[in-house]
Amino acid sequence: MLACLLPPAVFAEEVAAAQLKALLQPLITLRADFRQRIFAADGYEIQNSQGEMQVARPGKLRWIIAPPMEQWLISDGSTLWLYDPDLEQVIIRPFQQSVADTPAMLFSGGADQLEQSYTVSVSRTDTAATYVLKPIASTGLYEQIGLVFEGETPTQIVIVDSLAQRTEIILSNVQRNVAMDAETLDALFSFIPPPGVDILQDD
């Protein structure tokens, strides 16, 4: 009955959002290697890097880009550490658990905000489903986020920002819902600055 009352486009968005939430909500932990490529609006590749990411509910995030452009982004759900080994500098700030600010939050509990933050559409091939999320409110950060799943496994993230810069993140060696004890979680999702680095507090 509800489908008959809603315009077809709105009903399709609600179905796509429900399908995406059904994939995201069972994720308690997620670990993957990644290759990240960033392209300018004209298609020119401006960065190519690789690294490792881990997320855990609620709001925990670990995103490590390997040398030569090494950067660490770690959150325990309340504090965010941005560590640049080359600059010997760490920025510490409160972590905003907003999907609109941090798309990786979709994998660590942010699916609960899905309908409030995005309209969702989906396209499918024989092997994959691509969900395209467009912000409802203009934040000036992202025009859209694409999440590609093969079955229940996320395999790619594509982010297009307000300047038409495109970031493609290919995930490999994906591990879903690996059990971790409290000690392991603390070790992964907290950060103690190395001796001698500059510490900048951003409130």
What is the residue extent of each domain of the chain? 2-192
Both tokens of residue 163? 């300047």
- Dihedral, 60, 96, 16, 52 alpha carbons, nearest 10: -40
Side-chain half-sphere CA neighbours of 155 within 13 A: 10
Q: Which residues of the chain have pLDDT under 50?
A: 1-7, 99-100
pLDDT for the residue 2: 44
Q: Identify the CA nearest to 170 among candidates 38, 27, 21, 43.
A: 38
Specify the pTM.
0.86
pLDDT tens figures, 56-100: 988 899 999 999 889 999 999 889 899 999 999 999 988 875 544
Residue 48 CB coordination number (10 Å): 12
CATH 1.10.3720.10 fits 2-192, yes or no: no
At 8 the pLDDT is 54
